[in-house]
Structure 1
Amino acid sequence: MSALHDLPAHALLAAYRQRTLSPVDVVADVLAHIGRWEPHIQATYLLRPDAALAQARASEARWLRGAPLGALDGVPATIKENIATRGDPMPLGTAATALLSAAADAPPAARLREAGAVVVAKTTMPDYGMLSSGLSSFHPLARNPWDLSKGPGGSSAGAGAAAAAGYGPLHIGTDIGGSLRLPASWCGIFSLKPSLGRIPIDPPYTGRAAGPMTRTVADAALMMQVLSQSDARDSMALPAQDIAWGRFDQGVEHLRGLRIGLLLEAGCGLAVEPEVRAAIEQAARWLEQAGAHIVPMQPFMTQAMLDGMDHFWRMRSYIDLQALPAAQQGKVLPYIRAWADSAAGLSGTAVFHASQQFHLTRLATVRACNAFDYVISPVAPMPAFAAELPSPTDDPLRPLEHIGFTVPFNMSEQPAASVNCGYTTGLHPLPIGLQIAGRRFDDLGVLQLAHAFEQIRPPQRAWPQPPGI
C-alpha cells in the first residue's frame, strides 16, 4: 500500500468518492511528509498547514454531501510563487521586490481553487525566474531530492523538487525557455509545456506558458482538464476548445506507424554528455521496437539564435533593474546583475537584431518539425548540476548554454513534455529526461505519446525518501 502522499490524484479522487479516504487524512499526511523533507530541500514558500487543513475539512464535508466542488476536490497541490494568489505577496524569487499582496488569483491558481484542489503551499524560484537553478536572493536554496548536493533545476525549482519528494500529486510551474521541462528532467518527474495560450496566464508574454508538474502523465492530463479553461485576462489565450483530455491512454499500439524525429544535437550551447545521449538513444530504440519510425534529425538551432534571445532578455532585465532604486538593485543576485549589466553597451541596432532571433528560431523550429508527427531529444545536455551554481556554466556571459533543446519550442508555440527515460550511474543515480515535442496545438497527442512511453520504459526507481527514513 502506497503512503497517502505518494498516491496519484486519480486514486485519491476514487477513494474520496468511495469514502475510503478523507481529504483531511491525505492533507495531514502530505504536511507531515513535507515536514520531514523541507529542512533538506527547501521547496516551499507560504507553507501554511492550518489553511491547508481548513481547505481539506471543507472538501471532506462536500464529499460527504456527495457534492464535490470540481474535478480536483480535496487533492493536494502546490503553485509556483510567480503565479499570483489573492492576498499573498509575490517576490518573484528576489529580495529586490516589494512584498505587496496580490489583488486576485492568476488564471492557473483560480482554476485549481475552482476545481477544489487543496493549495498546500507555493513553491520557490530563482530571481525573476531567470535561472535554471534553485538559487534565490529571497528564498532558501532549493535542492534536488535525488541528491542533496544537486539542484532541482529551474526556474520552477521548488515545484520540481516538491513533485519528486512527494508533496502531493499536483504541482504547477511556468516556462519561458525550459523552466518546466528542465526541473522535470533533473527531478525525474513529468511535465508538459503546453501550446502557447492553451493554459491562460496573467501576465502573458512571448513564449511564456504555465503547465502541470506531476509524477505521471495521467495526473498531468487531469490538471489540463482544469487549467485549460478559458480566461479573458490572457490576450494570447487560445479559443476555448473541448479537448478529451481523458483520452491520454491510447495504449502502446498507438506508437505504430508514428514518424518520430530524433534530435541528438541542439546545434548550439553545451555538448550532450555521453550518459544523457545514451539514455535518449535507448529511449528511441524502445519506441522503434514498439512500432514507431525513428528518423535522425540535423540540428536546426544556431548559436546566433541562442545568443540573440539571450542578449534581448539581458536588455529587458537591464531596463527592469535600472528602474529599481539603487538599494533594491543591490539585493538582486550578483549573477543576475552581472548578466543584465552586460547589456548596457548594446546599441539599438544590436538589440533589434537580437530580437529578430526569436522569429528566426520559430521559423527554423516549425520547418524542422514539419516532416514528423513528433520530435524527441534530450531535455538538457547534462544531468542535475551542483545546487549552489546559478547555471551549468557558472558564467553570466554564457548563461543559457543548456537550453538549446527546450527554448525553440517556446518560440514556436509547440507543446513539449519531459518524461523520465533513464538514470546516470554512480552512487547517487540522477534522472534523465526525454523531451517529446508535438505540432502546435497537439497537446493531447504529446500526452498520448508520453503515456505510451511510460508503458514501454523499464520500471522506475523508487522515489527518494527524506534523510533518515
Structure 2
Amino acid sequence: METQHPTAQLWQRTATDLAAAIRAREVSSVDVVRSCLDRIEETNPRLGALVDLRPEEALADARRADQAVAAGAELGALHGVPVSTKINTDQRGRVTSHGVAALAGPPAEDDAACVAALRDAGAVLLGRSNAPAFSYRWFSTNEVHGRTLNPWDPGRTPGGSSGGASSSLAAGMTPIAQGNDIGGSIRYPAACCGVVGIRPTVGRISGWTPPAYADTPAGRVRIDVLPTVQACAVEGPLARTVADARLALEVMTTPDLRDPYGIPVAPARLPAGVKAAVSVVRGIGTVRNHPAVERALDEAVARLTDAGHEVEELDGLPLLAEAARIWSLLIYEDFRPMLPLVEKVGDADIRTSLAYSFAAAAAEWGERPALETYIQGWARRATLVTQLQQLLGTDRILLTPVSAELPFEQDADIASPERAAQLIAAQWPMAAVPVLGFPAVTVPSALVDGVPVSVQLIGGRFAEDRVLDAAQAIEDGTPALRPPLPLG
C-alpha cells in the first residue's frame, strides 16, 4: 500500500495520513481545513460539487479539534479530518433540500445516524455535496444548487445521486464524503470520477434519520420511509483510496435498532490473510460492454491474479439478471405514489427522467403492475438473497462491470425515451446489488482516453473485509489512477 508523501499539500493527503498527523501534532486541523477551503475556492466554482459552505464554522470546529489534541483528550478515528455530507441527509443546523426548492424547509434539528457517527469520530463537517432532485438520477443537477461537473471530463456525468461527493473528492476538496445508495448512488459516482465507493451490507450503517413531516390540507402528517428505501438503501462512504474508504466504513458502522434493518452489534472482523476466490461476471446477456469496460475487467483480473486470488470466469449469473429486473419493479412501484409531488414541485429534468424511467419499467412489467406481481417480486427477492449468500459465503466474491458504458454524457437520461432505456439496461450491475442487500465496492482499474473506468466487487453479507482487500489489490496495481486531479 502506497503511503502519502508527507510533503504533499495538506489537501492532497489521505484521510488516514491526516488523522495520524493531527493526532501526532505534526499538523493542525485548522491548517488542514484551511488547505481544503483554499482548494474548494480554487476548484468548486468550476465544478459545483459542494454547497452550503460555512468556512468560519468549519474553522471553529477545527480549532476545537486542536484544543482537544492539546488537552490529551480521547480522539476519534477521524479527529480533525474534513468530510462532506450530502444534501439529502440530515445534518444539524443545515437544510436537507433534496435539490428541490419546495422541500428546502427549516434546518434539521438533529443529525442522521451516519452523520452523528462521523461527528462522534471527530470529523470536521466541511460542506454539503450536491445531488439531483429527489436523488433519483445518475446525474447531479437541480434547480436549487445547479449542475455538478466531472473533473475528468465536464461533458460526462460525475454520477448520481452522490455526484457532488465524487466530484469534490476527485478534485481534492475533502478526502472523504458521505453518500447513500439505492441504485448505484455511491458506486456509480465513485466510478465516474475515479474514486472508491463502498455500498455496505444493509443494516451495517444505520439508516435512521429524524422523522420527516409535511403540511397538508388535513394537517401535519409524518412521512414514512418507503419499503424499498428500508430494505435496499444504505448510507456509506466515498473516498480517494481504499484505505480511507475502509476507515470511513469502520467509523460509520453504527449498530442501531431504530433502523428497521439495523443490527445490534458491529459485525466481527473476518479472519485476515484469506484470499477470496473471484468469479467474474462480465454480463447478463442483455447489453454489450463498451471495449473500455472489457479492458477494465481484464486489468482487474490481472491485478487480482498477481495478488494471489484464484479467478474464474462465469458465463453469466442468472440471479443477477433477475435481481436487476426486479429492481425496476420494486423501486418504481414504491415511488409511484410520489409522482404527483414530483409533478407539482420537481423541476423539468426530474419530471422527464422519471417519465422515461417509468416507460422503460412498463416495457418489463406493464403499465400498472398488479399488486400480486409486486408481492411476488418481494417474495422472489428473498429467494435470490439466499441463493447468492450460499454461492459466496465469506470467501468468494464477484467481479462485475460498474456499467456496460463509459460515464454517460450529461443528461443522457432525458435525451429520449430510447436513450433512457439504454442507460437502465447498461446499469444492471448498479441495480442488482441493492435488491439483494449485499456489500459492493467500486474501484478504478483502467484509464481509457482520459476517462477512468472502474470495476465492481460484490461480497457475501457483512463480508466487506473481503471486497475491500480485493479492491486494495486492484488499487495497488493502478497507482497512476490515484486522484486528486491537479486542475491547476
Task: Confirm or deny a common fold (TM above 0.5).
Answer: yes
Question: Which of 452, 461, 465 does residue 440 from structure 1 map onto?
Answer: 461
2:234 — aligned with what? 209
**C-alpha deviations, 1:344-391, integer Å up to 9, x for none?**
996765354245335535534653564441110111112222234347
Q: CA deviation at 1:193?
A: 0.5
The range that moved more, 83-92 or 364-373, is: 364-373
The answer for the alignment partner of 2:182 in structure 1 is 176
- Among residues 334, 352, 359, which one is paired with 1:316 in the alignment? 334
| Cα displacement (A) at 1:83 | 1.3
- The one-letter amino acid paired with 2:277 is R
Q: What is the match of residue 389 of structure 1?
A: 412
Q: How many residues align?
A: 455
Alignment deviations for residues 47-102 of structure 1 (CA, whole Å, 9 cap, x no partner): 11111111111111111112144221100000111111123221212234242322
Return the letter of the residue paired with 2:485: P
TM-score (norm 2): 0.85
- TM-score w.r.t. length of structure 1: 0.88
Q: CA separation of 1:273/1:358 partners in 2, compared to 1, >3 Å: closer, same or farther?
A: farther
Q: Which runs of 5+ in 2 are unaligned?
A: 1-6, 210-228
- The aligned residue for residue 280 of structure 2 is 262
Residue of 320, 334, 342 corresponding to 2:351: 334
Letter aligned with residue 35 of structure 2: D
Q: Indicate if the aligned counterparts of 2:95 and 2:105 stay in contact, CA closer than 8 A.
A: yes
Alignment of structure 1 residues 353-372 onto 2, 5 Å: 353-354=373-374, 356-357=376-377, 359-361=379-381, 363-364=383-384, 367=387, 370-372=390-392
- Answer yes or no: is 1:157 the counterpart of 2:163: yes
Q: CA deviation at 1:307?
A: 4.7
Against the structure 1 CA distance between its residues 358 and 124, is the aligned structure 2 distance closer, same or farther, given a 3 Å change threshold?
farther
**Partner in structure 1 of residue 21 of structure 2:** 15
Paired residue type of 1:335: T
Counterpart CA distance in 2 for 1:303 and 1:438 is: 17
Aligned letter for 1:44? L
* 1:120 to 2:111 alignment: no
The question of whether the paired residues in 2 share the 8 Å contact of 1:89 and 1:102 is answered with yes
Between Structure 1 and Structure 2, the one with more helix by share is 2
Moved more, 73-82 or 343-352: 343-352
- Displaced runs of 4 or more, over 6 A: 343-348, 391-394
Is the 2:327–2:431 Cα contact (8 Å) retained in structure 1? no
Question: Which residue of structure 2 lines up, in the alignment, with residue 296 of structure 1?
Answer: 313
- Mean CA deviation greater in 299-308 or 310-319: 299-308
- Map 1:58-457 onto structure 2 (within 5 A): 58-202=64-208, 205-241=230-266, 243-244=268-269, 250=273, 254-255=274-275, 258-268=276-286, 270-297=287-314, 298-300=316-318, 306-323=324-341, 327-329=344-346, 333-339=350-356, 349-350=369-370, 352-354=372-374, 356-357=376-377, 359-361=379-381, 363-364=383-384, 367=387, 370-372=390-392, 373-390=396-413, 395-396=419-420, 400-425=424-449, 429-457=450-478
What's the CA shift for 1:145?
0.8
Of 402-411 and 211-220, deviating more is 402-411
Distance of 2:416 and 2:326 partners within structure 1 = 18
Following TM superposition, by how much is the alpha carbon of 1:151 offset from its aligned partner in structure 2, in angstroms? Answer: 1.5
In the alignment, the residues of structure 1 paired with residue 152 and residue 453 of structure 2 have an alpha-carbon distance, to the nearest angstrom, of 12
Q: Distance in 1 between matches of 2:401 and 2:235?
A: 21
The one-character-per-residue Cα deviations of 1:131-180 (angstroms, maximum 9, x if unpaired) are 11113233211111111222110111111111111112111100011111
Gaps of 5+ in 1: none
Taking only the aligned residue pairs, the percentage that are identical comes to: 28
1:4 and 1:349 mapped to 2: Cα distance?
53
When structure 1 is superposed on structure 2, of 5-14 and 345-354 the one drifting more is 345-354
Q: Could you say what the CA RMSD is over the residues aligned between the two structures, in angstroms?
A: 2.8
Does the 8 A contact of 1:70 with 1:116 survive in 2? yes
2 CA distance for matches of 1:302 and 1:228?
27
**Shift of residue 263, structure 1, vs aligned partner:** 0.5
Check the 8 A contact 1:271/1:381 in 2, yes or no: yes
Amino acid at match of 2:332: R
